Amino acid sequence: MTQTHAPFRVDHVGSFLRPQELAEAREAYAEGKLSREELTAAEDKAIRDLVAKEVKAGLKSVTDGEFRRAYWHLDFFWGFQGIDHVQAAEGYHFHGETTKADSALIAGKISGRQHPFVEHYKFLRDLVAEQDQVEAKYTIPAPAQFYFELIRDAEHVEKLNQIYPDFTELRRDIKEAYLQVIQDLVDAGLKTLQADDCTWGVLVDDQFLTAWGAAQGKSKDQVRDELAQLFLTLNNDVYENIPAGLTLNTHVCRGNYHSTWASSGGYAPIAEELFEKEAVNAYFLEFDTERAGGFEPLAKVTPGKKVVLGLLTSKSGDLEDKTEVIARIKEASQYVPLENLYLSTQCGFASTEEGNILTEENQWEKIALISEIAKEVWGD
């Protein structure tokens, strides 16, 4: 049977390096030198060019590269009604770098009506409709990621408690807002949705958990258990209620900003919640460095679910050794049947508009290597 929805043997997470022309257009718009219409035209052109390159590279699952976004997650949050684009006290800290301080702050009751990403998807849909045996995949951040942003510091928590003193109401509105956007995307023709999620990557990091627990007088294990259950609940509120016929996959990351990372740790501590209980079809998983641990936790993956092994790094242009990657795929097949395994980079090439430190040529060489390996392993 021909695979019709992601994941595919040769796959990718979703974001691509912004071309220089688009980066210059976005900068000119920020400086007031370019109109919104002119920026949209520049985005449209860049996306058309990207889709052509994706198809030429043999990708069956095509995205818009997240070219209309500054961030993989924040632009989606800003699209909700009741959410403001603000500057936080500080940016997020990565290994050796700190992001810009952009954030999403609650300003009123949350709603997913008339979300701008629906129109963005339609543009991609129409481009992909011209291609044979290619689907348009769309990426959004996970519900748990949204909640995590709403509690990122004391100011956020205070404002959230003012608007939503009752957590049950907040939980309901997050669920309904997400399902509204998803229904609108499905009504527009979407068949495959990917929920990107760094919250699980945070929960494997003992350093983060120890600091969070110290502030609340709790142990790191207690914090992990509480947050794992909370994040699972928020995600499954949505995932268990998506429209029939929609394929939902998720991507788990430990941070991907300008070729740096944010957290470290294997999947074992959250394997039960993530691999057994989260209601998704497939997992795009980071496995490009020792920071992600071994494959043993994959034994918890519910039979029938699919796993996309992120064995090639998007953080560097250096090409991996094909023999070593094939050996690791075979090792992973001890825990998940080979027919349920797929291959990609561990994350996108540009989770933020700054992009990782490699060239556009490098990113396509990575895709080509994935294709070459897949042919040897699966014959696809």
Model-level pTM greater than 0.85? yes
Whether 40 contacts 60, CB under 8 Å = no
Q: Residue 13: inside a domain, yes or no? A: no
Q: Residue 3: inside a domain, yes or no? A: no
Q: Residue 102: inside a domain, yes or no? A: yes
Query: Which residues are within 8 A (CB) of 4 and not within 5 positions of it... i.e. 6 or more apart?
Result: 135
217-276, pLDDT tens digit by residue?
999 999 999 999 999 999 999 999 999 999 999 999 999 999 998 899 999 999 999 999
Q: Residue 86: inside a domain, yes or no? A: yes
Residue type, 83: I
Range of the domain at 221: 20-378
Q: Residue 6: inside a domain, yes or no? A: no
Q: What is the structure's pLDDT at 3?
A: 61
102-146, pLDDT tens digit by residue?
999 999 999 999 999 999 999 999 999 988 889 999 999 999 999
Q: Residue 2: inside a domain, yes or no? A: no
Total of domains in the chain: 1
DSSP codes of every residue in 184-203: HHHHTT--EEEEEE-HHHHH
- 188: domain CATH number is 3.20.20.210
Closest CA to 249 of 60, 76, 14: 14
Q: Mean pLDDT over residues 62-75, rounded?
A: 98
Q: Residue 310: inside a domain, yes or no? A: yes
Confidence at 1, pLDDT banded by 50, 70, 90: very low
81-110, pLDDT tens digit by residue?
999 999 998 888 898 899 999 999 999 999
